[in-house]
Structure 1
Amino acid sequence: MEALPNELLLEIIKQLFLEAFSTVLNIGLVNRRLHRLTNELLYSTYSLDRGNPALFIRTLASWPAHARRIQSLEWDCRPVHNNSLVTSDAFRFPGDLAPIERRNITKALGSKNPYETDDLNSILMDAGTDAYLNLFLSFAPDVCDIRIAIPSKWNYHAVWFTSSLGLRILSNLNKAYIVGPMRIRNVIPLFLVPSLRILTLDHVAHDRNRVLRGTFKWYGHDAAIQRLRKEKSWVESFHLQKCSTDTVEIAQLMPLFGRLKTFEFEFTGHDKDEANTTITHFVHSITNQSNSLKSLFLKDFRLALDPTALKGLSKLEHMDFLLLDMTMMCGSYLQKTTVESLSSVLQHLPKRLQHLHLIANDPDGEELKPSTAFTDALHGIAPIMKSILPALHTLKIADWDPLLGTFTCQTQVKAIQLAFAKIGVDFLWQPRDILINDSNENDIITLEGKEEGWIWVQWVDSDELWNEGRNDV
């Protein structure tokens, strides 16, 4: 073991760490070298499922050097096997804190007198909706990657992460993944973190369990917006997943990015809401990033009755990648698609586009696949595609697997592929991501990203057999 390099030893310890947390603790007691290596692993990342955060904070308060090791944080208090609607990240400190622990924790809470002996638990309860997370982050100054599932106990009508505005926390943050329900106003301070480059907001939506009557004042929101207008956001990759509200505010945010390169937008709501703007207006707001935007993922499940709704995309002159979900947005003219109607949509796309991924499933079909009219139009448009998108290298139909179709379908796909090959374009397809447990051949197929508590079934035949897999329940 003495001859093994540190890198190899660390990989071995990592595998043991995945199997049992206590095993790594025991390894660290063997000698100083292993103690140092296990510390790198034990303190480089933290998640709530590792145990009581109060105990971890006590360790960091006693040994501040360990705080610099923390690079990644997962703050998710949702029970693994329980669909409880009530979740809380609150914790309590015991009364037997060492003097140095109490002093450093009290100081982290922002007290002017770090030697005061007030009850820390009372201070935390009065410090704000996200006080427990903020306290932990104050002991992790170098954390660069966070994944946070918002607890249901947080104040839904408050601005969160305000401590980051003064760089008391998250001063080295590079990547953030926030899982709601949440509103855009809740997380405005994150857009002002200077080091943040990748921001994902998952489930921007009204939380029906937390909506109360009355008019609410979003203290700190207007000041943060004014500062954002002045300083701009340094976020380069912005992802909005399962969004169903606040498109008006999102559209207002689009000019406030300094160098946005990647934007993903998945909208699952509707137009009949004062918080949401139209598809046409939202697409126009994206053009505020025409000088920097290179990749766009646009999945809007509303129906665009105006065929020119995507016209604004032509102004994105630096964009070379586009994923466009046409299933609902262009549903009114996908069912009876012709070469002319398809070209009328594609002509609104940027001329420099090199990689185009389309999701174009028949909205009224029983299976996830394009309509026959769409595939015919796709075949027919191949000879003139270069006149529409002269820089195109790759055309991919996503969320579709022609190998699950009939032989006629497969031969048609091959014909389309050959037609595009003649003009120098690779025609590809990408099946919807499916996870299959190999441990049991009778396991039910599950869909990646599915809503918890639901299963996905493609079809059941007359003998009640699953199309792929079998249900023996």
Structure 2
Amino acid sequence: MGSQNSSERSLGSLPDELILSILDQFDSDDLTTFRALNVTSRQLHRLSLHRLYQRFPGYAPEPFLGTIALSEPEKCQKLAKCVKEVVWYQDHWKGPARRRMLSLADRHVLANRLQALGCILNTTDVSMNLPARFVSFLSEYEVHWWYLEFFLFFTPKVEKLRVWDVWQWDDHSYWFESLAANPAHFENLESITLYGPLRLENIVPLLTLPSIRELVLVQCVAMRQELGRNFSWSDGRDDYVHQRLAGGSSLEHLSLRESHIVFPFVYALLEPLKNLKSFTYDHFQNDLSFPIYAESQALMSLPSMQAHWTSLEYLRLHVERVSNVEEISWLLGSTPENGKPTFPKLRALDIGPCSGETFLGVQLSPTDSSVKSIHLRESHVERSVRAIPRTLKTLYLQWGQNIETPRDMLPHHLLQFLNYLQLFAEIAARWNYDLKRVAISDWPALAGWFPFPEGVESLKKAYEELGMEFDVLHEEIVGQEPLILRDDIEPDWLMVCKTTTFWYHSAVLGDKDRPWTVES
């Protein structure tokens, strides 16, 4: 007992600044530790309170609401202001969650408190009447966004929102209209991430928030319309957008990951984003897409944003395929007929998938390993340098080898591409371009290291002499595949599935035999 009291006294003798620095070393998701510290002493209770409540982890929203909104007023305000980030799992409403719901009396109290906040609420539309829906919400499975909106009204200092499972929401209507109607109440909400599938139209109200700076949409898809259903935007979608976003949007960073949209059809939604500084689009085929094989047309359509996206500094386009340099020239406004670049402030470009054929075309001889005409080769590379703006500092080329190229030609093509990249840097330096970094990104991780390490090292040195950097970056493997434990086949064995990409690139690595394992 004496030793414990001594430890508490020594801990209590530490200054607040030192204790706060110690708390910084803990994982912010380690709520068990913060709960234990919170009840240790008055000092630790005071110092750990913010960390304990700064992030709602996505579970038990009703008990959490009861804590931050049903306590004594002074405590309610203190706790509510602590919440800076909200994580939301829409599939939370299952057995255990239903048994932890607030009483009907408490629900009436919270509904009244929401109305007392003085917020603009649509009580004439049954689907958007937040107080009424919250009172009548007992234990049925809820698949709409209204509850999250109700919850957020009690976290006025929230800065970041991340929502999973929005595919369960009604994707035929606009979302978050109650939030958009109360921008002063959400003046701190800057970053929102939604995991779909969802439609780009669903989030239009969020674009009207003056505080919004970053929006990440995962699986943003142009989906088919359900039979017998109408879209909220069926009549006058573009007029609605122009009316709501007449003064533009404050959004600065828009990321559409694992998505499939057709750009000409969403032009009216992207046009008002006049403050956009970064844009990411990662094309991904989705079974829900309609038409399922529709092309994104991103490379051909984005130049039409020239008059609107004048602040763009970072552009990442991973589309179906970049076939040739002329497509990049058209995208960036570098063709002779264009008077000025499409994005005058562009500093970083991440584009692909592409390969040696994209940049060299006919220069890739199918038989010779050397280029016959240095003058012709240099003039060809000069066209590629002109395709990028002088202000560009970083260029990432997403690797995506066309598997129709004969496998035995791949080593030759890669060597030629390395030679091309060296001459590319020399010409860019000679013409006083601002280019500082070039990288081949998304090299297939299962294909091993880039097959010509000596060539890569030589290229890195050549870039360093020119005041630049060069690198080869491997693709990111998400999830457990292709490494799968198959105990049903052979206990404790690890099965490595060689993908089509692995089989193709193995020609460069010396594996000439077709793999016997199953291809994906």
Aligned to 2:232: 218
CA distance in 2, matches of 1:387, 1:445: 50
In the alignment, the residues of structure 1 paired with residue 203 and residue 132 of structure 2 have an alpha-carbon distance, to the nearest angstrom, of: 33
User: Counterpart of 2:279?
Assistant: 263
- SS of aligned partner of 2:471: strand
Matches of 2:460 and 2:29, distance apart in 1 = 46
2-structure distance, mates of 1:330, 1:167: 52
How far apart are the structure 1 equivalents of 2:60 and 2:173?
26
- Pick closer, same or farther for the CA change 1:253–1:218 going to 2, 3 Å: same
> For residue 102 of structure 2, what is the aligned residue in structure 1?
93
Going by fraction, where is helix more abundant, 1 or 2?
Answer: 2
Change in 2 beyond 3 A, CA 1:395/1:16: closer
Q: Which residue of 2 aligns with 1:394?
A: 437
The gaps in structure 2 that reach 5 residues or longer are 1-10, 124-128, 335-340, 365-376, 486-494, 507-520
For residue 121 of structure 1, what is the amino acid of its counterpart? Answer: S
- Tell me, in whole angstroms, the C-alpha distance in 2 between the residues paired with 1:222 and 1:124: 38
Residues 157-214 of structure 1: per-residue CA shift (max 9 Å, x gap): 1110111221266332111111110111000111111011111111111568xx5224
Q: 1:173 to 1:207 in 2, by over 3 A?
A: same
Aligned to 2:113: 104
Corresponding position: 1:351 with 2:351: no
Q: CA deviation at 1:232?
A: 0.3
> Could you tell me which residue of structure 1 aligns to residue 64 of structure 2?
56
Say whether residues 1:318 and 2:334 are aligned partners: no
| Whole-angstrom distance in 1 between the partners of 2:138 and 2:479 | 48
User: Contact 1:46/1:70 (CA < 8 Å) preserved in 2?
Assistant: yes
- What does residue 44 of structure 1 align with? 54
Q: For residues 392-471 of structure 1, what are the structure 2 equivalents within 5 Å?
A: 392-400=435-443, 404-406=449-451, 409-433=452-476, 444=483
Cα distance in 2 between the residues matched to 1:2 and 1:227 = 58
What are the residue-to-residue correspondences of 1:245-256 with 2, within 5 Å? Answer: 245-256=261-272
Which amino acid in 2 is paired with 1:95?
L
What is the rounded CA distance, in whole Å, between the counterparts of 1:117 and 1:297 in structure 2?
44
| Structure 1 residue 306, shift from structure 2 partner | 8.4
- Corresponding letter in the other structure for 2:12: E
* Rounded Cα–Cα distance in structure 2 between residues aligned with 1:312 and 1:383: 24
Determine what percentage of the aligned residue pairs are the same residue: 20
Instruction: For 2:356 and 2:62, locate their aligned partners in 1 and report how far apart those are by CA, in whole Å.
Output: 48
C-alpha spacing 1:134/1:275, structure 2 compared with 1 (3 Å): farther
Q: Which residue of 2 aligns with 1:231?
A: 247
Q: CA deviation at 1:274?
A: 10
The change in CA–CA distance for 1:59 and 1:6 in structure 2 (over 3 A counts) is same
The code of the aligned residue for 1:344 comes to R
Distance 1:405 1:286, change over 3 A: same
* Deviation, structure 1 residue 75: 0.9
Aligned to 1:307: 326
Q: Find the partner of 1:362 among 401, 418, 429.
A: 401
Give the whole-Å Cα distance in 2 for the aligned partners of 1:435 and 1:54.
33
In the alignment, which of 155, 167, 178 is matched to residue 152 of structure 1? Answer: 167
SS at match of 2:307: helix
Determine the structure 2 residue equivalent to 1:204.
220
- The structure whose Rg is larger is 2
Deviation at 1:125, TM superposition (A): 8.2
Find 1:170's aligned residue among 186, 190, 193: 186
Cα RMSD over matched residues? 4.5
**How far apart are the structure 1 equivalents of 2:133 and 2:196?**
33
TM-aligned CA distance change 1:123 to 1:103, over 3 Å: farther
> Using a 3 Å threshold, how does the CA distance of structure 1 residues 346 and 141 change in structure 2: closer, same or farther?
same
- Contact 2:161–2:192 under 8 Å retained in 1: yes
Structure 1 residues 117 and 384 mapped into 2: Cα distance closer, same or farther (>3 Å)? Answer: closer
Distance 1:9 1:346 in 2: 54
| Alpha-carbon displacement from aligned partner over 1:281-338 (angstroms, at most 9, x marks no partner) | 3231342345311121121124557834532414122212211224289759669656
Structure-2 change in CA distance of 1:424 and 1:28 (3 Å) = closer
